[in-house]
Amino acid sequence: MFDLSGRTALVTGASRGIGYFIALELARRGAHIIAVARTVGGLEDLDDDIKAVGASATLVPLDLTDMKAIDALGGSIHERWGKLDVLVANAGVLGTISPIGHIKAKDFEKVMTLNVNATWRLMRSVEPLIRASDAGRAIFLSSGVAHSCRPFWGGYAASKAAIEALARIWANELVNTAVRINCVNPGATRTAMRAQAVPGENPDTLPDPRDVAAKIIKLADPALTETGMLYDVREDRMLRYREPE
Ligand code: NDP
């Protein structure tokens, strides 16, 4: 089991679901967690769980659609730690499941603002910090629909395809540094978002977010060599994209 003692990890969407357990698993390996989400109660529960495994967290109650606050977060991390070892860009919203022609403009924009704009803004905010780490690791939560393009999932699928493009380009830009950047397709997981997406489904048939998170955190291993790849949790396999031309 790899060790993250003395390392700092920023996890967005850490108040519940997959992000909560990614944060907890990283803490279990000794990382100090910077936990971002809007719901203070969820962050406080995480803080209790992190303390129980002998680690520590800094709670950042923040709406990630506040772009200036994302810029300020990078500044605060710089002042306090001077670097960032792990970024987990996990926060996301589903938006409405509906035919493209029926999606309301405000719903489409909401999905893009959080899933795409805030993710790019976060990358830009932390880039100097993650480059300052001796083994910077960035993990981006995507989805199978970015590739399957399932009908009615238009806004969400497009946002995840955009996240993958940004992450791959960032990986190609930083390929000659110590930073390693990868995307993840977690597969259907028992969370609030999945219940919203597929309301009739029996959640007991789905993998537990604890187990999914335990697999994802291998992308934070300081010894990881792969970059610009897509980790498929269900298949437990790193998938290679086309090389840039
Ligand atoms: P949840 O809905 O359970 O959790 C989403 C997290 O994002 C929450 O912590 C929420 O915190 C945070 N978040 C949402 N909006 C904002 C905001 N404006 N500012 C800050 N934080 C925000 O989702 P999952 O755990 O299911 O999903 C995690 C990631 O995995 C997502 O990117 C999702 O797209 C992806 N994914 C999930 C799958 C699944 O089956 N569950 C399948 C494929 C991909 P709060 O509300 O407190 O702000």
Residue range 20-42, pLDDT digits in tens: 999 999 999 999 999 999 999 99
Nearest CA, atom 36, ligand 1 = 143
Spatial separation of the C-alpha atoms in residues 97 and 151, rounded to whole Å: 9
The response to whether residue 95 sits with its C-beta less than 6 Å from ligand 1 reads no
Q: Which atom of ligand 1 is nearest to the CA of 63?
A: 19
**Predicted local confidence at residue 1, as pLDDT:** 80
Instruction: Look at residue 44 in the predicted model and tell me its pLDDT.
Output: 98
| 228 CA from centroid of ligand 1 (Å) | 22
Instruction: Give residue-wise pLDDT tens across range 72-105.
Output: 999 999 999 999 999 999 999 999 999 999 999 9
pLDDT at position 24? 99
1: in domain: no
> Which residue CA neighbors atom 2 of ligand 1 most closely?
193
Residue 245 in domain: no
Taking only the tens place, the pLDDT of each residue in 191-228 is: 999 999 999 999 999 999 999 999 999 999 999 999 99
22: enclosing H helix or E strand = helix 17-28
Domain tally for the chain?
1
Q: Are 144 and 89 in contact (CB under 8 A)?
A: no
Residue 243 has pLDDT above 90, yes or no: no
In a domain, 112, yes or no: yes
Model confidence pLDDT, tens digit, residues 111-146: 999 999 999 999 999 999 999 999 999 999 999 999
Identify the bridge partners of residue 59 per DSSP, sorted by sequence position: 35
Neighbours of 6 (CB within 10 A): 9
Query: Which pLDDT score, from 0 to 100, does residue 188 have?
Result: 98
Retrieve residue 25's tokens: 């698993």
Q: Which atom of ligand 1 is nearest to the CA of 141?
A: 32
Residues annotated catalytic, as ranges: 156
pLDDT at site 41: 98
Q: Which domain holds residue 59?
A: 8-240
| Ligand 1 pocket, residue 196 CB under 6 Å | no
In the chain, % helix, strand, coil (3-state, to 5) comes to: 45, 15, 35
Q: Which residue has the tokens 């199978």?
A: 144
Is 187 among the domain residues? yes
CATH for 181: 3.40.50.720
Q: Could you give the percent of the chain with pLDDT greater than 90?
A: 98
Ligand 1 near 59 CB (within 6 A) = no
pLDDT value of position 244:
82
Do the domain assignments include residue 230? yes
Q: Is residue 135 part of a domain?
A: yes
- The atom number, within ligand 1, closest to the CA of 197 reads 40
Is residue 102 in a domain? yes
Nearest CA to ligand 1 atom 30: 141
Handedness of CA 224, 230, 87, 16 (dihedral sign): negative
- 227 C-beta closer than 6 A to ligand 1: no
Contact predicate 169/110, CB 8 Å? no
Overall average pLDDT of the 157-168 stretch:
98
Q: Is residue 3 part of a domain?
A: no
Give residue 79's pLDDT. 98
Mean pLDDT score across all residues of the chain: 98
Alpha helices in 66-191 (DSSP H): 67-81, 105-112, 119-131, 145-148, 154-173
pLDDT-derived band at 245, boundaries 50, 70, 90: confident
